[in-house]
Amino acid sequence: TEGSPPPRRRAVRGRAVSLSGNPFLKEGCLDHVEDALILIEDGRIADFGPYAETVGHLPAGVTVERYENALILPGLIDTHVHYPQLQMIASYGEQLLAWLDKYTFPAEIQFADRAHAERVAKLFFREILGAGTTTAMVYCTVHPGSVEAFFAESERFNTRMIAGKVLMDRNAPAALLDTAQSGYDESKALIARWHGRGRQLYAVTPRFAPSCTQAQLDAAGTLLSEHDGLFLQTHLCENPDEVAWVMDLFPDRASYLDVYARSGLVGPRSVFGHAIHVTEEDFCACHRAGAALAHCPTSNGFLGSGLFRLFDALDPKRPVRVGLGSDVGAGTTLSLLKTLGEAYKVAALRGTKLDAARAFWLATLGGAEALRLDDRIGRIAPGYEADLCILDLAATPLLGFRTGTCRDIEELLFVLMTLGDHRTVRATWVAGECVYDNRRAGDPLRY
Ligand code: GUN
Ligand code: ZN
């Protein structure tokens, strides 16, 4: 119509792969196109198919960005990460509860300073986009300014992000505590400002049961009931001492999960980090509620928390939604490729085999399903938002040598998840724009 701007058109050509369904539940979900053309219009995928069949739909005047010896994937999805913990990643020697007291809380106190939050948010986006991650579900700190800084940076890139202010009103340094009322009020104001603005979405974020009074957990439930489409993120059954502490603090609850359920926090947009020490009952309750779990293998290894039961969680008899989480700063990398390599080892230690199709589903469409965004992100398909991660099959001499011997797409993907890291990421596209290119001199575009 008159006055509306012309559509923003882009085109990307290269070998591409995308999951069309959940390989834990059915076979044949890997869509692989040796020489694909992806047509993008106003940030969404307009067409995707073999180059020879799709090039006829290429509008005149649109230049094709071609990636050689590369693999184009949907942007990777991190379902559990703490951006304020970048500054204390790789902190030595403790398990969860002592690690929080000794390293995490002192770092988070610094986010009272808005300028500090802005610096760390900038670094976070630079790091995740360089790692091929285009969506994340993110913990900020107790300070509303930490959320403002995060969403403001996300808006610059037009990334689809879910984040929220941490709620914590006990068992932490006074400088990190809110109250049930102030946490509610501040969350409400942030929701009004950010939830549904562009691609930004809000998650009500009680840190975990030990840092929240009953009144605060109830206030979180009230927030969820008052707004459409809000998310809930928290931690669940990460560490045996933590689980014992929760049962001590909430003696009349049937389980750790039940503490959250009684406040209305176990629902279809709830994402629970870790869920290592859960029971079959808990898996069933999550299945019934449609709640999701975030598998955080590098964190669970680093803090000595335990081995997540991935194949039990996804048992086709009562599948629970599962996404992949870096959980930085307990996690040791923001790279979801490296995280998948660690997920394979966790599965192996449990006597199971995490094949490449299942693994890449976890990092893309599975994550999108966990976040209830699988109609918009997590796939390369018409109508989907054009978030892409392009991997360089010869990013290092060893990788080039090894990928050169791969006979099929499954083997190639497995080599990439085992050897891949941030160096493997050739480029990252967000909503139809290239926001990171590892061959561009100096700082990548828009940093
Ligand atoms: N449990 C409560 N807070 C945290 C946190 O910041 N990181 C991890 N890994 N577990 C938690
Ligand atoms: Zn966490």
Check which CATH number belongs to the domain holding 407 and give it: 2.30.40.10
* From 176, 208, 305, 326, mutation site for ligand 1 pocket: most ligand atoms within 8 A of C-beta: 208
- CA dist 418 and 339 (Å) reads 9
* Burial state string for 273-302 with b = 16 or more CB within 10 A and e = fewer than 16: bbbbbbeeebbebbbebebbbbbbbbbbbb
In a shared domain, residues 337 and 291: yes
**What distance in angstroms lies between residue 86's CA and the mean position of ligand 1's atoms?**
13
State residue 440's pLDDT score: 87
In a shared domain, residues 362 and 384: no
In a shared domain, residues 255 and 237: yes
User: Is 44 inside any structural domain?
Assistant: yes
SS3 82: strand
In a shared domain, residues 16 and 150: no
User: Is 49 inside any structural domain?
Assistant: yes
Ligand nearest to the CA of 99: 1
Token representation of residue 153: 């940076």
Structural domain count, the chain: 2
In a shared domain, residues 260 and 284: yes
10-residue mean pLDDT series, the chain (447 residues): 86 98 97 98 98 97 97 99 98 98 98 98 97 99 99 98 99 98 98 98 99 98 98 99 98 98 98 98 98 99 98 98 98 98 98 98 98 98 98 98 98 98 98 95 52
* From 80, 82, 205, 299, mutation site for ligand 1 pocket: most ligand atoms within 8 A of C-beta: 82
In a shared domain, residues 220 and 356: yes
User: Is 238 inside any structural domain?
Assistant: yes
Which ligand 1 atom sits nearest the alpha carbon of residue 303?
A: 9
**What distance in angstroms lies between residue 302's CA and the mean position of ligand 2's atoms?**
12
> In 317-396, where does DSSP find H-type helix?
336-349, 356-363, 365-370
Please give the angle made by the CA atoms of 308, 311 and 315, to the nearest 5 degrees.
Answer: 130
The residue whose CA has the least distance to atom 5 of ligand 1 is 100
**What distance in angstroms lies between residue 172's CA and the mean position of ligand 2's atoms?**
16
State residue 1's pLDDT score: 57
User: Is 444 inside any structural domain?
Assistant: no
In a shared domain, residues 16 and 82: no
SS (H, E, C) 266-321: CCCCEEEEECCCCCHHHHHHHHHHCCEEEECHHHHHHCCCCCCCHHHHCCCCCCCE
The residue whose CA has the least distance to atom 3 of ligand 1 is 207
131 within 8 A of 99, measured Cβ to Cβ: no
In a shared domain, residues 70 and 80: no
**For strand 70-74 and strand 388-392, is the pairing parallel, antiparallel, or unpaired?**
antiparallel
In a shared domain, residues 198 and 158: yes
The residue whose CA has the least distance to atom 7 of ligand 1 is 330
Which ligand 1 atom sits nearest the alpha carbon of residue 85?
A: 6
In a shared domain, residues 85 and 161: yes
The residue whose CA has the least distance to atom 8 of ligand 1 is 330
User: Is 3 inside any structural domain?
Assistant: no
- In angstroms and rounded to an integer, the radius of gyration of the C-alpha atoms of the chain is 21
Domain membership of residue 417 as a residue range: 9-74+380-437
User: Is 446 inside any structural domain?
Assistant: no
Domain boundary among 352, 370, 388: 370
In a shared domain, residues 237 and 124: yes
Ligand 1 pocket list (CB less than 6 A): 82, 96, 100, 104, 207-208, 235, 238, 299, 327, 330
* From 235, 293, 302, mutation site for ligand 1 pocket: most ligand atoms within 8 A of C-beta: 235
Domain boundary among 341, 370, 399: 370
For residue 329, whether the previous peptide bond is cis, meaning omega lies within 30 degrees of 0, is: yes
Domain boundary among 315, 337, 370: 370
Ligand nearest to the CA of 294: 2
Q: Model's pTM, two decimal places? A: 0.98
Q: What is the CATH number of the domain that holds 302?
A: 3.20.20.140
User: Is 206 inside any structural domain?
Assistant: yes
- CA dist 329 and 80 (Å) reads 11
**What distance in angstroms lies between residue 306's CA and the mean position of ligand 2's atoms?**
14
State residue 447's pLDDT score: 44
**What distance in angstroms lies between residue 100's CA and the mean position of ligand 1's atoms?**
7
User: Is 375 inside any structural domain?
Assistant: no
* From 238, 295, 328, mutation site for ligand 1 pocket: most ligand atoms within 8 A of C-beta: 238
In a shared domain, residues 282 and 416: no
Ligand nearest to the CA of 88: 1
